[in-house]
Each structure stands twice: as C-alpha cells, then as structure tokens.
Amino acid sequence: MSELLRRIRLPLLFAALVFGTLSLMLGDRRPASEERHWAARALLEIAAPVQKAITRPVYFVRDSWQRYVALVDVEQENRELREQVARLESERLAFREALVLSGQLQRVAQMRREFEVPLLPSQVVGQDASAWSNALLLDRGRSSNVRSGMPVMVEQGLVGLVSATTPHAARAMLILDRRSAVDAMIQRSRARGLVRGLGTGELEFVFMVRGDDVQVGDEVLSSGVGGVYPKGVRVGSITAVHAERAELLHTALVKPAVDFGRLEQVFVMLKRGPTMDLLFGGGDGDLPEPAPPAVADGR
C-alpha cells in the first residue's frame, strides 16, 4: 500500500492543485457579497504561499535578465562615451596646436616686417650643454639656404649663431657659449659694451667706465656694430653691476631674455652680416670648435 502511495503521490498532488484552482475559479464567479465556503477559504490560504514560491524563481530570472540587458546597454554607452571623450581630447589638442602654430606664424610675419630679412622657422631637435660648449641642433641645413654665420633668434630675443651645417641639419652656437661675444648697448643710456657667454645660464656685460650709466634692470640690446648680429634684438637685462673705481673695465651680470631650456622652434635669419661674409669668403665653412678647458697639474 505504501509503495502504491509513493508512486501516485505526485499525480495526487497535481490533481489536488488542479482541483483547488478550479474551485477558486468557480468561487470567484459568485457574487462578491456572498460569503465564501470554508473549503474555498482554506484553498485560498494554501494557494497564496504556493503560488508565491512558484513565481519567485520566475521573477528572479526575469529581473536578472533585465539587469543583464541593462548592464550590456550601460557598457555600450560607456564605451561610446569613452570614445567621444578621447575624440574631443584629440580635437582639443589639435586646436591648441593650431593656435600655437597661428601665434608662431604671426610672430614670423612680425619679425620679418621688423628686420626686413627672410626668417626661416626651424625646429630644435637636440641641445648640447657642457662645460665648454652650448649649442642647438636644428632640422634645417644647406638645402634650406642655411649657412654658417647666420644669426638665430626667437621672439623673446637673441639665441645665437649658426656654426656648422650639413645638407639637412645645422648646429647653432648659443650666446651662452664661452666663445660667444655680442656687441651690445644699454637701451636706456645707450652705453656700449660686449656681452660674453660664461658657459652657465648667465651672461656678462663688459663696458668701459667713461661715465657710462649701467643700472640693475636695464635692458640690453644688440648694437649691430661688428656686422654679426642685427641691431635692436633683445639680449637680456642687467641683474648686478660690479664697478670698481680702479678698474678701466666694469662688468655686469645679464639674465638672458630667452629661456634656452624651453626652446622648441627658432628662426634663422637668412642673411649673414658683412663680417661673416668676409670670414667665410662667400663659402660655408664652420666656426672652430672650442677647446676643452685646461686642467692644472698642481705644480
């Protein structure tokens, strides 16, 4: 008997659920005011938790699927937003470079009007800074009509002088170099002197006493004398004056107008002064390289 009950218990349970469902359906057809039979109320009490247990997994699967679909949509939206941000950032950088380039072109036009000499923009591709040499490596050479002895400058002021060239590159000696010498003058008092490179980040202005008026803060410009550099290009400003009455020559420290550590583009003046033309004889020789500093032997 027990074996028979075990075999038919599932069909019996199913039949009971079907019967109960039918009873509830028939009971629902009665008028609302009619009091339900006790059996119908019992079946209703039992069916509610059973139905809840049956529908809970269905709702869980449905909600999980909806969340998954929502996450897929969110991931797609995030990917599109990241691509949009990257595109906007690229466009922002491009616009910024365009503005910088526009400013550079305006500076080139302004400098050309000021000096009435063709100026060739050139990118700085390397820098040599050692105890006895300060120079830049440029990406323009003889194929672009760059020759040794041509001045190099930027909007802020004087940079140096082309000292060596190849067909597609050039080396420019900075005014910081110990070999460099620029005939200069004080803008305010017109006092003349010579700006020499110290091999460091500063320059030295050497001038004769003769009542010349040189003060801290004075602007130093190239004088144009000597036929190497054009007249009126900023060199720097006086930061200290060393004047001894007994000395014929006085000196002053000069802070360069150009930040040589941040140079990216310079302009080569495509015209040599008469002194450079005489020095090179119309050719394109290179300026002599500096000798290494002497080392004392202690004797």
pLDDT along the chain (299 residues), means of 10: 66 68 58 52 61 66 67 74 73 58 59 72 85 85 94 94 94 93 93 91 85 88 91 94 77 94 91 81 58 40
Which residues share a beta bridge with 136?
A: 127, 172
| Cβ(266)–Cβ(159) below 8 Å | yes
Do 36 and 125 sit in the same domain of this protein? Answer: no
CA pair distance 280, 8, nearest whole angstrom? 118
Burial class (CB in 10 A: 0-12, 13-18, 19+), 254: buried
pLDDT score for 199? 82
Q: How many domains does the chain have?
A: 2
**Which residues contact residue 183 at a Cβ distance below 8 angstroms, ignoring those fewer than 6 apart?**
192, 194, 195, 222, 223, 224, 225, 226, 228, 229
Q: Where are the alpha helices (DSSP H) in the chain?
A: 2-28, 38-115, 274-280
Does residue 24 form part of some domain? yes
pLDDT score for 127? 87
pLDDT score for 292? 45
pLDDT score for 213? 85
Burial class (CB in 10 A: 0-12, 13-18, 19+), 40: middle
Does residue 288 form part of some domain? no
Does residue 263 form part of some domain? yes
Does residue 185 form part of some domain? yes
CB atoms within 10 A of CB 264: 10
Does residue 289 form part of some domain? no
Does residue 287 form part of some domain? no
> Nearest CA to 43 among 20, 16, 18, 13?
20
Do 153 and 52 sit in the same domain of this protein? Answer: no
Q: 142 lies in which domain range? A: 120-281
Could you tell me the end-to-end alpha-carbon distance of the chain, in angstroms, rounded to an integer? 126
Which residues share a beta bridge with 269?
A: 119
Among 41, 61, 81, identify where a domain stops: 61
> Nearest CA to 165 among 150, 155, 178, 175?
150
Do 275 and 130 sit in the same domain of this protein? Answer: yes
How do 151-153 and 265-269 pair as beta strands? antiparallel
pTM, 2 dp: 0.60
Do 124 and 270 sit in the same domain of this protein? Answer: yes
Using DSSP, state whether 153 is helix, strand or coil. Answer: strand
Do 10 and 154 sit in the same domain of this protein? Answer: no
Write the CA distances from 27 to 35, 39, 44, 270, integer angstroms: 10, 10, 10, 107
Tokens of 79: 């990917």
Do 46 and 136 sit in the same domain of this protein? Answer: no
pLDDT score for 293? 42
Do 57 and 175 sit in the same domain of this protein? Answer: no
CA pair distance 204, 177, nearest whole angstrom? 11
Do 47 and 138 sit in the same domain of this protein? Answer: no
Does residue 91 form part of some domain? no
Do 124 and 272 sit in the same domain of this protein? Answer: yes
Do 268 and 146 sit in the same domain of this protein? Answer: yes
Do 19 and 137 sit in the same domain of this protein? Answer: no
Does residue 93 form part of some domain? no
pLDDT score for 118? 85
pLDDT score for 226? 85
Burial class (CB in 10 A: 0-12, 13-18, 19+), 174: buried
Do 49 and 184 sit in the same domain of this protein? Answer: no
pLDDT score for 297? 41
| Cβ(263)–Cβ(159) below 8 Å | yes
Give the CATH number for residue 132: 2.40.10.340
pLDDT score for 184? 95
CB atoms within 10 A of CB 173: 26
pLDDT score for 295? 38
